[in-house]
Structure 1
Amino acid sequence: MAREEQELDAEKLMSSIGLVERTMKETMKNKKLRNELVAVIREAGAEKGCEKACGDLLYEVAVKYPKEAALDNRPAFLRAYVMTAKVKNKLQLDAALTYLAKRGPQPLEPEALNEAAGVGVVVTPEEVATAVGAEVAANEEKLRTERYRFNPGAVLAELKKRLKWADGAAVKKELDVQVAALLGPKTEADLAKPEKKKKEPRAPKPVAAVLEAGPAANGAPDTEDAAEQDPYAFLPKPAENNKVHTTVTFSDGRVMSIANTGEQLAAHLAATGGRVVTRFPPEPNGYLHIGHAKAMFVDFGMAEQYGGDCYLRYDDTNPEAEKMEFIEHIRDIVAWLGWKPAKVTYSSDYFAQLHELAVQLIRSGHAYVDHQTPDDMKASREAREPSPWRDRPVEESLRLFSDMRRGLMDEGSATLRMKQDVRNENFNMFDLVAYRMKYAPHPHAGPGWCIYPSYDFTHCVVDSLENISHSLCTLEFESRRASYYWLLEVLGLYKAVVWEYARLSITHNLLSKRRLARLVSDGHVHGWDDPRLLTLAGLRRRGVAPEALRAFCREGGISRNAAEAHLHKLEHHIRAVADVTAPRAMAVLRPLRLVLTNLAADHREEVAAKVFPGRSEDTYAAPLTRVVYIEQDDFREEDSRGYFGLAPGKSVMLKYAGTTRCTGCRKEGGRVVEVQAEYARLQEGVKAPKGVLHWVAEPEPDAAPPALEARLYSTLFRSQSPAELGDEWLADLNPESLTTVAGAMAGPALAGAKPGDCFQLERLGYFCVDPDSAPGRLVLNRTCMLKDSFATERKAPAKGRCWSVS
């Protein structure tokens, strides 16, 4: 049937069941829903029309009870219950669908279904009035106090329990009548708009309290409510894994409906105790990036939410690309992010079982040994033509697969392919490769194998062998769901719930492992842990706390809606954690000499600087001398409106110390090299200047402070979405993504700082001590600015603005 004919037929069927025009138009736009509704109408035998109430229920079935969740029960249910008006409303329909979903592939049991859906149950108006009266009496005191501002939600919820099959609108109407009878007509006070309660500003948490909360709080000091939410609530529980997961439609019209049998589910629940079991399955062929942090949040986070288990499973089926370096890196990063695997496993641990299942697959006629080259396979795939060796005898494939296993064939001369459906619309059902030959030792399994299973063969089988309850992955794997379930079905294995979510995408960055590798190999960045990259090694080196990454991932959730997260959202979480964990210190990046002329040459005093202003009373001693250093940008020869720095004749505060008034400056070569000023302690009752500068005292003559280098990072790419640039993406690299500032100066609070230590340098941002630091040389990476620079720095960012857009 032509596409136009199909659409006309669909419109005719929808019209026959009384669907309103607006709903019809919206349904026609959604091809999947349109096809589902057409199938429902035909299964119900409603092609010639039905009452509108019945048609509305058929529409609900198409939306809530699609074919992949129905097996063979849907047609029988529609004809016997919906079309005969045994199920009359959406409440009954939802109850019936819930019951049938739990039944899975088992045949209908009419008595149990009748009870579950309230078939034949009639709730009289007298029963409604009696139940409502009892609830009104129980809440009379509160009703008289709050009158018509009383929230009826809790009462209606209780009535729903007592009157399960009553019409909700009738119950609400009766409640309104009885409340009005109790309270009488509304007064002016009832009708007056309530005053809004003013929110008291929340005091900052003491630093000790925030640190004590640890990573379990997901690092979000201001998001207490978010920690109480359950982002995984929509996913089915392990005991519901007898529901149908999918249907595979073949090109010849056959439909394979796939679900766990009762026996498979019982065995799974016995093995797991009914707990949630997930897995984080990275390939050990490179370094992890922030997208993997989201995957860890999804996998480890769900297990943590429900007190279950999450395995760290290395998906190590390609020995040529895998290294122990990557294996150790992954284990280290998982621990750094605060996740604790219930078990560390390797796909290669199951090589023997996988091989046995491959032999079983050949014996059952679902696999064959093939000699097509990759180019031949690609050509056959495009032509939708089978391999010349697809129908070779089972015994011949068994013998050849044994030869492959024993290394008696040349590498690349043969593969084992699954016999699926070469003309299927889903290319992931095109006889995927199950095994290939590689004469390479395996970094974990050793030299005992020369055939290695593919991802498509391994992933689903190991999920089953490990009794995974929820197999969660990103949306690019959605098209592989059919192959995943097909293989488990023909092998007779337990099946996990598969659910796909949108992968993480962040502005001004690329998270393609291939492109990240290109940046590293071509020298555009200084290794996988370059702080400009959103690799987890780079973020850690930059000083980003793991709690911040967990909070960022939690905020993004696990929706299927693809969206590009703005970089400033990540920065928000980085700052939120750093604000309460990074002690304050003072440093100047581009020092300018300031001489306090009214102090003696040997003057030296100590002022008390706050470690966590506003959060604790802890202080550290900051020396004040006749000569101090301020930022070059904090002095101008001419004052101007809105400028709060130092200028001739102008006074500013030296933070934690006193005031200073500029009396002059000295130049060399046209550049100011020294500023003179008079210093005064702030007197009680005297208004302090608006301008407050950070500063560093001149070191003592016999002290040799370490050379201080500051590395200031900006976005690696100039465009917001470099992935959209195609092959021109490298041309978008930001040449000013790294600014190195030598000759900076720091106060004594940084004495003894070691790699990994993080500080807030007052007025400059958050910094982390880099591993390049050495005795006599301190290197600081700027983690982020104190405030989001995106809104104000788009056109002309200040030098070294972190994360800002050039």
Structure 2
Amino acid sequence: MAVKLVFPRDNPPLSIISAAKIAGVPITIDPCLPSGPVPTLHFGSGDFIHGVNTVLRYIARTTSVSSFYGEDAIQAARVDEWLEYAPLILSGSEFEAACSFLDGYLASQTFLVGHGLTVADTVVWSNLRGAGQRWESLRRSRKYQNLVRWFNSMAVDYALEEVTSASAYVGKRAIGKSPAPCLKEKMPGLENTSGHEIDLPGAKVGEVCVRFAPEPSGYLHIGHAKAALLNQYFADRYKGRLLVRFDDTNPSKESSEFVENVLKDIETLGVKYDVVTYTSDYFPKLMEMAECLIKQGKAYVDDTPKDNMNTERRDGVESKCRNNTVEENLLLWSEMVNGTKRGTQCCVRGKFDMQDPNKSLRDPVYYRCNPDPHHRVGSKYKVYPTYDFACPFVDALQGVTHALRSSEYHDRNAQYYRILQDMGLRRVEIFEFSRLNMVYTVLSKHTLRWFVQNKKVEDWTDARFPTVQGILRRGLKIEALIQFILEQGASKNLNLMEWDKLWTINKKIIDPVCGRHTAVLKDKSVPLTLTNGPEVPFIRILPRHKKFEGAGYKAITFANRIWLEYADASAISVGEEVTLMDWGNAIIKEIKTDDGTITQLVGELHPDGSVKMTKLKLTWLSDTEDLVSLSLVDFDYLIINKKLELGEKFLENLNPFTRREALALGDPNMRNIKRGEVIQLERKGYYRCDVPFVGSSKPIMLFAIPDGRLKSTSIVSGA
């Protein structure tokens, strides 16, 4: 069966090409895509699979090379771990730390998994090779001799250097070719738009201009992040321009604070734009256009009360003002511009067709009066354009070629085009994608503003909020957010997404590198006295992460009196042997109680005991004065329904239990944890430091990070 690998011409997937070569899987390579899309394997049958790891697993399963996917299920699982972790740990700021870890790992290993070459070796090798100068500098320094030995062995024994060098040359040679005939691979879920399956209708490389146009009435949330990243994706793909334009047409809801934080969030997302503009820059031109349409009889001024107007639009009833003369309309328009009492009773409407089955075409509103000062232009204007009027006008004037909009606006697309037509402006193509909807989550800024104003949350950065700053404060890594959003692609299919998938991606990023610490709940702890324990406490230096040297080290105190969790103490029987993690075994000799409550355990260390023979492996803390106070904070969703149905009020679905705090004691090393740092508390889970150590009188505040294993983000529900 003919198999062809299609990939970005400036980014050859070295791991796939090298794995296919070694595995003897015949693949024709076609580097015809522009930058951005994922590599895809096309079969003669018409089927295809895409994604680096998906293709690698296919190659590993279909080759005749013995043990290329491991020799058993456990080894196959370890290969999968390397496929997931290698691109993460060998990119970004932790590159050298990852090399250090690999060097130690390969000290006694010839191959990464088992006793033979697997696809894991080709993936790690290719990621090192792809790191370019960063790897070459370390390679020449001879700092990591075990890793260099393994790398050189792969290069020579399996001719990987020859394969990847040729691949890189093919990729470079193809740069500059027109991508139009080869744009068959898209972001996952992107729907075909023509026989050539290009992404954007009528798009030409170097001529595309897209815009991300948030309203500065709140902070960016996860839905906005999808829109921003998709705009960036298409701008990069077509080597075009990306504009950031603030749709600041409603001074009652907007502020400079929101502008500043939206820009901050855009930077956090890594979105690179060409220029920042504002719809308010075009207010004079928009007013001229509104007056021009009135003079042409394509718009009129209406003083119908808002509720009556909504009823008339629903029922297809023409307004009594629809047949005003141009002079009457201009007079009322002047009243609006001056913000008189009469003017505030009016609005400007487009004159379309009140019988149109598409209700968005039933004379939409173009302009309204608003006396509130604007965050940029102050009180200069008394009238402001609606989004529906301003958006197509400014899109056309700014040279936007493709306006990306979520499919919730589908019924208003015809209105967008009709307004452009009436204005006599060029056509701007609309490209739809599905809105990102998350379970148990509201994304309406109006609703989010209610939570802030009514003190149901701290502010827009609250860890329970779906804002970019909120979910990052909860402990999500920006890399996980970007990966999650781009995996959704530009599909028009409406999906209700689970948070668990996002948190699972996040766990794969934080687990390999975050430091480990120990904590016991303050009001649920029991002392264990070790009768043969050290009379004078001593300290050992241990790694914060046993598999990642880059996490650093911690000093652990060993004493004859230690703290255990009450739940652990309750599970122990007299005479039972348990394992104290990072220390050894102990035998429990006595359990003291008071009215059924365990108050103390007495035991003795058993240095010769086997860790493999014990059922309980316990975390513990020495009872010393330098333990730090912790506040462990857990969160739950703000609403109790997975999805709010149409017309269902969020106020009737508020979750009364969304935050819980528990006081705990932590090991003294946690004094050095910085704000924003992610750690793992042994046997408790992952946490992000929200308030670091500032003194013994105030606890370190740690926010629990979901790990994707539970269908709820928290154990708070029902508390």
Q: TM-score w.r.t. structure 1 length?
A: 0.63
Q: How does 1:318-717 map to 2 (within 5 A)?
A: 318-408=250-340, 410-589=342-521, 590-611=524-545, 613=547, 618-636=552-570, 646-681=572-607, 687=612, 689=614, 691-700=616-625, 703=626, 705-717=627-639
Give the 3 Å change call, closer, same or farther, for CA 732–357 of structure 1 in structure 2: closer
For 1:390 and 1:206, how far apart are their aligned partners in 2?
Answer: 62
Superimposed CA distance per residue, residues 533-553 of structure 1 (whole angstroms, 9 cap, x where no aligned partner): 323332122122222211221
The AA in structure 2 aligned to 1:529 is: T
CA contact (8 A) 1:711 1:779 kept: no
Q: CA offset at residue 727 of structure 1?
A: 4.5
CA contact (8 A) 1:785 1:801 kept: no
Query: What letter is aligned with 1:707?
Result: S
Aligned partner (choices 642, 645, 652) of residue 720 of structure 1: 642
2:467 & 2:218 partners in 1: Cα distance?
10
Q: Secondary structure at the match of 2:293?
A: helix
Structure 1 window deviating more from structure 2 (778-787 vs 748-757): it is 778-787
Structure 1 residues 462 and 591, CA gap change in structure 2 (3 angstroms): farther
**Distance in 1 between residues matched to 2:637 and 2:540, nearest whole Å:** 39
CA 1:558–1:193: 2 relative to 1, 3 Å: closer
Tell me whether 653-662 or 563-572 shows the greater mean CA deviation.
Answer: 653-662
**Contact 1:605 1:625 survives alignment (8 Å):** no
1:451-489 alpha-carbon deviations (Å, 9 max, x no partner): 111111011111112222221122221111011011112
- Contact 1:287–1:329 under 8 Å retained in 2: yes
| Distance of aligned partners of 1:400 and 1:308 in 2 relative to their CA distance in 1, 3 Å threshold | same
CA distance in 2, matches of 1:275, 1:502: 25
Distance in 2, Cα, partners of 1:635 & 1:628: 12
Q: 1:681 to 1:334 in 2, by over 3 A?
A: farther
Distance 1:786 1:155 in 2: 38
Tell me how far apart the structure 1 counterparts of residues 87 and 484 of structure 2 sit (CA, whole Å): 22
Q: For residues 632-690 of structure 1, what are the alpha-carbon distances to aligned partners after superposition, in whole Å with 9 as ceiling and x for unaligned?
A: 222225xxxxxxxx44322333222222222222223431122222224468x974635
Counterpart position of 1:751: 671
Equivalences for residues 197-276 of structure 1 within 5 A: 199-200=69-70, 201-202=78-79, 203=82, 204-205=85-86, 209-212=90-93, 230-231=187-188, 234=191, 274-276=206-208
Shift of 1:375: 2.5
* Residues in 2 aligned to 1:766 and 1:452: alpha-carbon distance in whole angstroms: 48
1:691–1:279 CA distance, 2 compared to 1 (3 A):
farther
* Structure 1 gap segments, 5+ residues each: 1-145, 157-170, 173-191, 215-221, 246-259, 638-645
Question: Per-residue displacement from partner, 1:360-397 (whole Å, max 9, x unpaired)?
Answer: 32233311222222123123213312222223333443
Q: String of CA shifts for 1:407-449, please: whole Å, max 9, x gaps.
A: 4553422222111111111111111111111222211122211
Q: Confirm or deny: 8 A CA contact 2:513 2:548 kept in the other structure.
A: no
Give the partner amino acid of 1:417.
Answer: R
Q: How high is the sequence identity, in percent, across the aligned residues? A: 30
The residue type equivalent to 1:296 in the other structure is A
Distance 1:686 1:715, change over 3 A: closer
Partner Cα distance (2:432, 2:29) in 1: 38
Question: Matches of 1:196 and 1:554 in 2, distance apart?
Answer: 35
Checking the alignment, whether the CA contact within 8 Å between 2:500 and 2:708 is kept in structure 1 is no
Equivalence for 2:715 = 801
Q: Distance in 1 between matches of 2:445 and 2:385?
A: 22
Deviations 1:744-782 (A, max 9, x none): 111133113233222121221111122497533234343
Equivalent pair of 2:248/2:279 in contact (CA under 8 Å)? yes
1:235/1:463 CA distance change after superposition, 3 Å: farther
C-alpha separation between the residues in 2 aligned to 1:387 and 1:627?
84
Structure 2: gaps of 5 or more residues: 1-22, 31-43, 46-61, 71-77, 96-119, 131-184
The one-letter amino acid of 1:374's match is K
Residue 318 of structure 1 and its aligned partner are, at CA, apart by 0.7
Of structures 1 and 2, the larger Rg is shown by 1
Q: Does the aligned pair in 2 maintain the 1:277–1:467 contact within 8 Å?
A: yes
Q: Which amino acid aligns with 1:651?
A: E
- TM-score, normalised relative to structure 2: 0.70
Native 8 Å contact 1:596 1:677 kept in 2: yes
Equivalence map 1:3-82=2 (5 Å): none
Q: CA deviation at 1:240?
A: 12
Cα distance between partner residues in 2 of 1:660 and 1:726: 61
Distance 1:718 1:382 in 2: 33
2:709 is aligned to 788
* CA shift for structure 1 position 598: 0.8
- Residues 805/299 of structure 1: CA separation in 2 closer, same or farther (3 Å cut): farther
Structure 1 residue matching 2:645: 3-state secondary structure: helix
User: Aligned with 1:447: secondary structure?
Assistant: coil
Q: Please, which moves more after superposition, 464-473 or 296-305? A: 296-305
Structure 1 residues 594, 465: closer, same or farther in 2, change over 3 A? farther
**Matched residue SS, 1:287:** coil
Q: CA 1:329 to 1:365, structure 2 compared with 1: closer, same or farther past 3 Å?
A: same
Assess if the C-alpha contact under 8 Å between 2:515 and 2:551 holds in 1. Answer: no
SS in 1 for 2:220: coil
Query: Over aligned residues, Cα RMSD in angstroms?
Result: 4.0
For 2:488 and 2:189, locate their aligned partners in 1 and report how far apart those are by CA, in whole Å: 13
1:635 partner SS? helix
Match of 1:456, SS state, is helix
**Amino acid of the residue matched to residue 435 of structure 1?**
Y
Q: Secondary structure of the residue that 2:420 maps to in structure 1?
A: helix
Counterpart-to-counterpart distance in 1, 2:534 and 2:91: 44
CA distance in 2, matches of 1:444, 1:339: 24
CA distance in 2, matches of 1:689, 1:520: 50
- Asked if 1 retains the 8 angstrom alpha-carbon contact of 2:206 and 2:238, the reply is no
- Partner in structure 1 of residue 659 of structure 2: 738
**Do the aligned partners of 1:585 and 1:761 also contact (CA within 8 Å) in 2?**
yes
